[in-house]
Amino acid sequence: MNRAILDLWVGAFVALGFAALMFLAMQVANVSEEGTRGETITLRARFEDIGGLKVKAPVKSAGVVVGRVAAIRFDPQTYQAEVEMKVSAAYPFPKDTIASILTSGLLGEQYVGLAAGADSEMLKDGDRIEMTQSALVLEKLIGQFLFNKAAEGGSK
């Protein structure tokens, strides 16, 4: 076969292969993640119970993704979970922001919800969010519900 035609086909093949890889990286895996693009600041928060929160779970405010969970550690001093979040520096949050662990849908993934407060001072890189709300664990809720029901029945 003619050398030039051979080169052309192989060149097209290699280009197609790399285009496929680019497609997988950009469209399918979405390397440039929306919401955490650009500069980020690190915020910390302590939770009593993080439920099923995982690293890389989204951090949302008003339903919009503003960051990602960067690390989860167990703090042996306080016996609490320490969650480190990378939040976009473009959205500054007030000092009295409340961080809570929420679930998207009934069985969906868990994420950190930030509810902005009214303080005029903003959270800076490395700051700790003091007010937190733990994850709702379904078993605990059901247990509480049954306990209350039983207590009601007993008082009657």
Which span sits near another protein by CB under 8 A: 25-33, 70-78, 88-96, 147-155?
25-33
- Could you tell me the smallest distance in angstroms from the CB atom of residue 1 to another protein? 8
Rounded Cα distance, 100 and 115, in Å: 8
Binding mask 3-22 for another protein (x = CB under 8 A): x--xx-xx-xxx-xxx-xx-
Fill in the DSSP letter of residue 110. Answer: E
Q: Any idea what the Cα angle at residue 53 is, between residues 50 and 57, rounded to 5°?
A: 140
54: tokens are 């995982």
Distance in Å, CB of 34 to another protein, minimum = 8
Say whether residue 118 binds another protein (CB under 8 A): no
CA distance 61 to 90: 13
Nearer to another protein, 23 or 74 (CB): 23
- Each residue 44-73 as x (binds another protein by CB under 8 A) or -, in order, gives ------------x-x---------------
Least distance in Å: CB of 14 to another protein?
Answer: 7
Per the CB < 8 A criterion, the answer to whether 73 and 79 are in contact is no
**Rounded to 5 degrees, what are φ and ψ at 134?**
-75, 170
d(CA 25, CA 33): 11
Residues near another protein (CB under 8 A) are 1, 3, 6-7, 9-10, 12-14, 16-18, 20-21, 23-25, 27-31, 56, 58
